Amino acid sequence: MNPLLLASTSRYRRELLERLGLPLETARPDVDETPAPGEAPAALAVRLARAKAAEVAVRHPGRWVIGSDQVAELNGAPLGKPGTVEAAQAQLAAMSGQSVAFHTAVSLQCDGRVLEACDLTTVRFRVLQSDEIARYVAAEMPLDCAGSFKCEGLGITLFEAIENSDPTALIGLPLIAVARLLREAGYLLP
């Protein structure tokens, strides 16, 4: 089989996928990530994962392409990547003492065949003080992360609990679902 093609330049997703020990290459997808009016966060994650995989698959016929996207949801509204220190601090302040849903979708595609999954992780944030938020953002600069934290780093200190069935999903790629989809596609995994 040809190497799996990851439709992402995220180092987090690449590092996770490398755990499976499969030959891997990456390609940057060219996809508009703007939510549609009224689009539910889970639907947005699935649509973007599908669009990323499809866009790269068109350029690489005969290759299995995996696209993924994660959308954080607070009180029914999607939270994007903050991009700035101020936006990250505002997101964390809004999530203080709240439960936040993280929808992590995966789409595996090759020549019109599509296999998909979407994982739900719920994070309960502890009550956060503004000085804690400022120290955390300065320490990890999570400006490219949905929800403004890195759970594999200091971000774990912001939580009371994480509820999910796949611990890798919150980092950005639900490997349990990915492994299942890859086996369906014919990849040999343990």
Distance of alpha carbon 65 from alpha carbon 162, whole angstroms: 29
Q: To the nearest 10°, the Cα dihedral for 139, 48, 104, 72?
A: 50
- The answer to whether 107 touches 42, Cβ cutoff 8 Å, is no
First-last CA distance in the chain: 16
- Please choose, from the candidates 92, 74, 84, the residue with its C-alpha nearest in 3D space to the C-alpha of residue 131: 92
DSSP-derived secondary structure for 82-148: --SHHHHHHHHHHHTT-EEEEEEEEEEEETTEEEEEEEEEEEEEPP--HHHHHHHHHHH--TTSTTS
Q: For residue 91, what are the contacts with CB-CB under 8 A and spacing of at least 6?
A: 79, 82, 147, 148
Please confirm, yes or no, whether 32 is among the known catalytic residues: no
Q: Cα dist. 153→106, 115, 141, 143, 171 in Å? A: 23, 31, 11, 14, 10
Question: Which listed residue (30, 32, 69, 144) is catalytic?
Answer: 69
**Which are the catalytic amino acids?**
69
